[in-house]
Structure 1
Amino acid sequence: MRLQDLYNRSEQVYCSIHHDPVDRWLYAAWEGFVPTDDAERGAEAYLSSLRHFPSPCLLNDNSRQSGPWFDSTAWLEHIWAPTATQLGLRYVAHVTPPYLLAATADVAARRPFGEQFELQIFDDLDQARHWLRSQQLTLR
């Protein structure tokens, strides 16, 4: 179920947030070039969705995003992650385009979110879904 679309200055959707009623998680799909201010606005929209559709799992799909998202890491770590954790987030499957897999994995290896939640990096959406489903089993 589509919850929200976010539009950039060119009036194109750069982030869509969905609630998956079957898997019971939120899914954020990003596309195109996303500047830092739009990335933060999308992350805030996710928090709003999490308040209405609580879930310990997020499938964050950047596979159609162009350009790195690393400029937002400090904001995500210090502002967004504590709030997401308070709202119950425990597992994040982050899907990156294959050409950014190594750089994204390097950022994740520094553990910018510490123990706030578990983050796994993927370049395959089906593998990310499989991992999130396996994490849900540990919650039951």
Structure 2
Amino acid sequence: MASRILYDSPALTISVNYLDDWLYLDWHGQLDDEAIVPGALKLLELLKQERCAKILNDNTHVSGLWADAAKWGGNVIFPQLHAAGCRYFSWVHSPERYSQLSAELAMQQTSAGITFMSFQDLPTAAAWLRRM
């Protein structure tokens, strides 16, 4: 089996892809700060457990504005992810503009040492991450 679900909540499903050696985050629904923070903390726990250096973050099924969580992510969670071993973060944008703005804010807020790239579709994001 190439992947396995490690965590499943109403806002986030996290699976490990053994073939590509990354964590895949599938965020879904109308996100807000209260939905994002617990998911991000679970991600940190699972990243330490699985010892992956790569994250494929899929916001394809996301809507909503989550600017406060974006700032928190940039200032708090991304530096912790880097300390736990994350080096590459491939981010697939939501088609919804407010969610895109929140994601851009999160990436701009951090100087964590993680290489971020954002994409409009999952296949392109996965292809970039495979090259890293």
Which range, TM-score by smaller chain? 0.7 to 0.9
Q: Given the superposition, is the C-alpha separation of residues 98 and 49 from structure 1 closer, same or farther in structure 2, using an over 3 Å criterion?
A: same
CA distance in 2, matches of 1:42, 1:102: 18
Q: Which has the larger radius of gyration?
A: 1
User: Residues 3-42 of structure 1 correspond to what in structure 2 (within 5 A)?
Assistant: 3-6=6-9, 13-42=10-39
Name the residue aligned to 2:101.
103
CA contact (8 A) 2:90 2:125 kept: yes
- Alignment CA distance shift 1:133-1:62 (3 Å): same
Q: 1:48 aligns with which of 27, 45, 48?
A: 45
- From 84, 93, 96, give the equivalent of 2:81: 84
Q: Provide the C-alpha distance between the structure 2 equivalents of 1:85 and 1:51, rounded to a whole number of angstroms.
A: 10
**TM-score, length basis structure 2:** 0.87
Report if the CA contact (8 A) 1:105-1:121 is conserved. Answer: no
Q: SS where residue 90 of structure 2 aligns? A: strand
Could you report, residue by residue, the CA deviation over 1:103-139 in whole angstroms, capped at 9, with x for unpaired residues?
Answer: 367536x73212521111111000000010111xxxx
Closer, same or farther: CA 68–95 of 1 in aligned 2, 3 Å: farther
Identity level (%): 29
How far, CA to CA, are the matches of 1:102 and 1:32 in structure 2?
Answer: 14
Structure 1 gap ranges (5+)? 7-12, 136-140
How many residues were matched structurally?
128
